[in-house]
Amino acid sequence: MLPEAISELETAIRLKPDLAETQYYLGAARWFSNDVSGAIAALTTAAQLMPNHANAHYYLGLALKKSGSLERAIGELGMAVKLAPELIEPRHAMGLALQEDKNLDAAIEAFRAVTKLKPDFVQAHNDLGLALVQKRDPEAAIAEFNTVLRLDPTNLVAHHNLGMTLIQKGDYAAAVRQYQKLITLAPENAEAHYNLALALKQEDKLDDAIVELRRAITFQPSLHEAHYALGAILLQQSRLEEAAEAFRAAIAAKKDYAEAYYALGTVLQQKRDVDGAITTFREALKYAPDAAEIHNTLGNSLRQKGDAEGARAEFQDAARLNKIKVNQQAAIFASNTGLAYLKEGKVDAAIERFQAAVRLDPTNAQAYYNLAKALQQKGQAEASRAAYQKAKELDPRLKLLQ
């Protein structure tokens, strides 16, 4: 049905390209047939011909979001909201786009507006809860997930999200109860058994956690995290053979699982299989070459083996990577201090902190972006453009300077 409709609409537009409504219907039809680029082309024309058509902006925003053009998508969805503030869908879609763009405050505001317009909109409450989790506000997130469960008591996603948030909050006993409720509703839900195990582990109920992890693996053998968590508990209990088996299963489920290789190497080291440990640590470094801890542990194994030169090289790599990590952390602190100065109107002090941040970590796109903003406020347009260009090279998703 859609292909025939699209063909007829395309024929009409070839004859008369400025048919605004036809461009809109073509764009919408292409959107629903998963032709994203075609939808963008038609809907862009429709929005230009009918700038007050809320749905043209809305569907254009959806298509742009799917294409990865978040900044343009947010603009189009914002226009749809402005033109039709009573509509739920554009506002909800804008919240999702803002969340994807990591603008959590604006996303939360958008989701709250949606739930105010439609208090029984389950998905909006759930999305608001997830944004609040990202914002590290577990109490508010829990309230939203509980609202979902009042509206829809069997909503498995909300049960899972509530359990996850209780773990984030550190209320492991409540998380255990929550995942047990979820398992009552979905007994073969591997993720539920896995997360229940994580909560039980935090309560030091290791044997119970092992039982849940084995259940998770039974229901989903490819769940690599469950194999890894099982191995970690078994290692904690000094059950080395079983731990090694679990870590090998994790690697079988996920071939590039650096953490599992490293953990397996640690087990082999404890079993005095130095050659096996060295081989396994080298495998881990194939997938995590910047992990200082693995370089350092490999260095210890090489030294134990009598390879002083190889050990020295690994220790040097570990020291270099640790220095980079320290500098990155210092850069974040310097950048945050710069933002505080900028908020207080101390532009010169802010610039100095942002410059320190980019010296410490030349890969920090946000620090370059903040530096560009500060230089712009100072009136140093050329320097601001240069800093912004560097920021965009490091992270093309960054927004335009205001």
Q: What pLDDT score was predicted for residue 215?
A: 98
Residue 177 counted as domain residue: yes
In this structure, are 2 and 110 located in the same domain? yes
Res 401 pLDDT > 80: no
Which range, of 18-27, 56-65, 281-290, 391-400, averages the lowest pLDDT?
391-400
What global pTM score does this model have? Answer: 0.83
Per residue in 7-22, pLDDT (tens digit) is 888 888 888 888 899 9
In this structure, are 99 and 207 located in the same domain? no
**Which domain does 187 fall in, by range?**
119-220
Res 206 pLDDT > 90: yes
Q: What is the DSSP letter of 400?
A: P
Residue 188 counted as domain residue: yes
Which range, of 114-118, 178-182, 370-374, 397-401, averages the lowest pLDDT?
397-401
In this structure, are 133 and 162 located in the same domain? yes
In this structure, are 125 and 164 located in the same domain? yes
Contact of 186 with 154, CB cutoff 8 Å: no
Angle between helices 156-169 and 190-202 (to 10 degrees): 20
In this structure, are 143 and 206 located in the same domain? yes
> How much of the chain exceeds pLDDT 70, in percent?
100
Residue 7 counted as domain residue: yes
CATH of the domain at 72: 1.25.40.10
Final residue belonging to a domain, choices 90, 118, 146: 118
Q: What span, in angstroms and rounded, lies between the C-alpha atoms of 384 and 400?
A: 12
Q: What pLDDT score was predicted for residue 160?
A: 96
In this structure, are 131 and 159 located in the same domain? yes
Final residue belonging to a domain, choices 65, 86, 118: 118
Res 400 pLDDT > 80: no
Work out the average pLDDT over 335-360.
96
More confident residue, 1 or 29: 29
Confidence of residue 2 (pLDDT cuts 50, 70, 90): confident
Tell me what the pLDDT averaged over the chain comes to.
95
In this structure, are 109 and 209 located in the same domain? no
Residue 182 counted as domain residue: yes
Residue 149 counted as domain residue: yes
First to last CA, the chain: 45
Confidence of residue 59 (pLDDT cuts 50, 70, 90): very high
Which range, of 1-15, 148-162, 363-377, averages the lowest pLDDT?
1-15
> How much of the chain exceeds pLDDT 90, in percent?
92
| Main-chain dihedrals φ then ψ at residue 115, nearest 5 degrees | -70, -25
Res 1 pLDDT > 90: no
Final residue belonging to a domain, choices 204, 220, 236: 220
DSSP readout, 93-109? Answer: HHHHHHHHTT-HHHHHH
Handedness of CA 104, 107, 109, 112 (dihedral sign): negative
Residue 202 counted as domain residue: yes
Token look-up 């208090």 returns 119
In this structure, are 114 and 132 located in the same domain? no
Contact of 299 with 319, CB cutoff 8 Å: no
In this structure, are 102 and 144 located in the same domain? no
Confidence of residue 180 (pLDDT cuts 50, 70, 90): very high
Q: What pLDDT score was predicted for residue 16?
A: 87
Res 3 pLDDT > 90: no
Number of structural domains the chain divides into: 3
Q: What span, in angstroms and rounded, lies between the C-alpha atoms of 201 and 209?
A: 6
Res 327 pLDDT > 80: yes
Contact of 71 with 94, CB cutoff 8 Å: no
Res 189 pLDDT > 80: yes
Q: What pLDDT score was predicted for residue 4?
A: 85
In this structure, are 373 and 357 located in the same domain? yes
In this structure, are 141 and 180 located in the same domain? yes
Per residue in 80-129, pLDDT (tens digit) is 999 999 999 999 999 999 999 889 999 999 999 999 999 999 999 999 99
More confident residue, 2 or 305: 305
Residue 322 counted as domain residue: no
Per residue in 234-280, pLDDT (tens digit) is 999 999 999 999 999 999 999 999 999 999 999 999 999 999 999 99
Contact of 234 with 242, CB cutoff 8 Å: yes
Q: What pLDDT score was predicted for residue 77?
A: 97
Q: What is the DSSP letter of 288?
A: -
| Cα-based distances in Å from 258 to 51, 228, 229, 235, 290 | 52, 11, 14, 17, 11
Per residue in 123-134, pLDDT (tens digit) is 999 999 999 999
Q: What pLDDT score was predicted for residue 81?
A: 96
Q: What span, in angstroms and rounded, lies between the C-alpha atoms of 202 and 375?
A: 47
Q: What span, in angstroms and rounded, lies between the C-alpha atoms of 59 and 222?
A: 37
Q: What is the DSSP letter of 396?
A: T
Residue 286's Cβ-side half-sphere holds a number of Cα atoms within 13 Å equal to 11
Residue 300 counted as domain residue: no
Q: What span, in angstroms and rounded, lies between the C-alpha atoms of 243 and 247?
A: 6
Confidence of residue 152 (pLDDT cuts 50, 70, 90): very high
Q: What pLDDT score was predicted for residue 13?
A: 84
DSSP readout, 133-160? Answer: HHTT-HHHHHHHHHHHHHH-TT-HHHHH
Q: What pLDDT score was predicted for residue 359?
A: 97
In this structure, are 83 and 137 located in the same domain? no
Q: What pLDDT score was predicted for residue 71?
A: 87
Res 311 pLDDT > 90: yes
